Amino acid sequence: VGWTGTPDDLSEPFNVEGVELHPVPISADEIELYYEGFSNDGLWPLYHDALRESTYSGEQWDAYVAVNERFAQALADIAPPDAIVWIHDYQLQLVPGLLRQRRSDLTIGFFLHIPFPPFELFSRLPWRDEIIAGLLGCDLIGFQRPTGAANFATCAQQLLDVETSDDGRTIVHDGRRISVGVFPISIDVEEVENLAAGRATRARTSQIRARLGDPEVILLGVDRLDYTKGIGLRLRAFAQLLESGQLDPERHVMVQVATPTREAVEHYQDERHEIERLVGSINGRYSRIGLPVIHYLYRSLDFEDLIALYRAGDVMLVTPFRDGMNLVAKEYCAAHIDGDGV
């Protein structure tokens, strides 16, 4: 059950590779208010240590409630008796509670792919009680890391006065026992290793190094273009090391891949402009003709090309301010099947 990614799409259910998919329509206005607004301009910065100021808008909250109700109703309509329903991420935190009201027979799980903030930050949210109550509609709530699980249990206890076990892994609410678990997401290690060992990848890796001028050390960053990832600070640190002479532009180059994301949100537009300004400034000062010291790509890469780039990189820079579970670090390690790389 999900949104197709197209505004005002009223598609009928359809089947892909044996999986029955049920579209939930979201209007263009709701994308602006619910998705880009409340979810990504309100919850996202708050859940990432309030790195940027959140927007708290009643109109955006109303849209968030409306879309969550639509998802809950769609699930209530199609779920078989006594089914297990698994709900994902911060855009749908009200769905468990709304679904529980409609279908008490269901077993409901929820997984949060991003951090959950401490009580002091979460308390900034005007609708904090409603979010906690929505999540407590679950039988199981999953987080990436123990910190997120502990923060949630504390918020539930402080805001709704629930009973929690000493370890915070069981919550009693409304006569039900709710489990709180930690399930760090991983990668398909075997797939990465097989790709990395392939002849085509090794050839592509050699081509990458040659195109970069065969430097002694390639420093690599691969991130979504998001202000939580610390790309700007990373570039400034690189420039400082060049300035101090600890890095040599004739021996060390940096490759930064920034995957476009949420391009309609103002914070992301500002971040892109700042990164591009920094890249231009550093290259203008330290590059040689035909050999920039920073190679910057603002686009997505095919997975095969990404694995080859991982193989080419001598030092992988993973420097987020705050992250749920960064898979780039895991992919880089898995791709370096010879045990090299830092």
Q: Say what the pLDDT of residue 238 is.
A: 98
Q: Per-residue pLDDT averaged across 137-151, rounded?
A: 97
Q: Per-residue pLDDT averaged across 97-111, rounded?
A: 98
Q: Say what the pLDDT of residue 104 is.
A: 96
Q: Say what the pLDDT of residue 268 is.
A: 83
Q: Which residues fall within 8 angstroms of residue 227, CB to CB, at 6 or more apart?
A: 51, 52, 267, 268, 270, 271
- What is the token pair recorded at 317? 């820079």
Q: Per-residue pLDDT averaged across 276-294, rounded?
A: 96
Q: Per-residue pLDDT averaged across 147-167, rounded?
A: 96
For the chain, what is the mean pLDDT? Answer: 96
Q: Say what the pLDDT of residue 193 is.
A: 98
Strand partners, 20: 15
Quick check: is 48 catalytic? no
Q: Say what the pLDDT of residue 284 is.
A: 97
Q: Say what the pLDDT of residue 264 is.
A: 73
- The amino acid at residue 292 is P
Does the pLDDT at position 87 exceed 90?
yes
Of the two residues 253 and 227, the one the predictor is more confident about is 253
3-class secondary structure, 157: helix
Least confident among 236-250, 253-267, 274-288: 253-267
Catalytic residue among 113, 167, 174, 214: 113
From the list 133, 152, 140, 72, the residue with the least C-alpha distance to 111 is: 140
3-state secondary structure 88-127: ECHHHCCHHHHHHHHCCCCEEEEECCCCCCCHHHHCCCCC
pLDDT tens sequence across 113-133: 999 999 999 999 999 999 999
Quick check: is 113 catalytic? yes
Q: Say what the pLDDT of residue 61 is.
A: 98
Q: Say what the pLDDT of residue 324 is.
A: 85
- The amino acid at residue 91 is Q
Question: Nearest 5°: CA angle at 261, between 257 and 266?
Answer: 115
- Measured CA to CA, the distance from residue 302 to residue 263 in angstroms comes to 20
- Check: CB of residue 109 under 8 Å from CB of residue 83: no
- Measured CA to CA, the distance from residue 219 to residue 315 in angstroms comes to 5
Q: Say what the pLDDT of residue 266 is.
A: 77
5 Rama sector, left if φ>0, alpha if ψ -120 to 50, beta otherwise: left
- Measured CA to CA, the distance from residue 311 to residue 334 in angstroms comes to 10
Q: Say what the pLDDT of residue 44 is.
A: 95
Model-level pTM greater than 0.95? no
From the list 118, 306, 283, the residue with the least C-alpha distance to 220 is: 306
Q: Say what the pLDDT of residue 267 is.
A: 77
- Check: CB of residue 41 under 8 Å from CB of residue 267: yes
Q: Per-residue pLDDT averaged across 224-236, rounded?
A: 94
Q: Per-residue pLDDT averaged across 5-22, rounded?
A: 95
Q: Given the DSSP bridges, would you call strands 252-259 and 294-297 parallel, antiparallel or unpaired?
A: parallel
Catalytic residue among 226, 252, 323, 336: 323
- Measured CA to CA, the distance from residue 286 to residue 277 in angstroms comes to 14
Q: Say what the pLDDT of residue 263 is.
A: 78
Long-range contacts of 69-78 (CB under 8 A, 24+ apart): 69/94, 69/98, 70/24, 70/25, 71/1, 71/24, 71/95, 72/98, 72/99, 72/102, 73/102, 74/1, 74/22, 74/24, 75/1, 75/99, 75/103, 76/102, 76/103, 78/1, 78/22
Strand partners, 253: 218
Q: What percent of the chain has pLDDT over 70?
A: 100
Q: Say what the pLDDT of residue 189 is.
A: 97
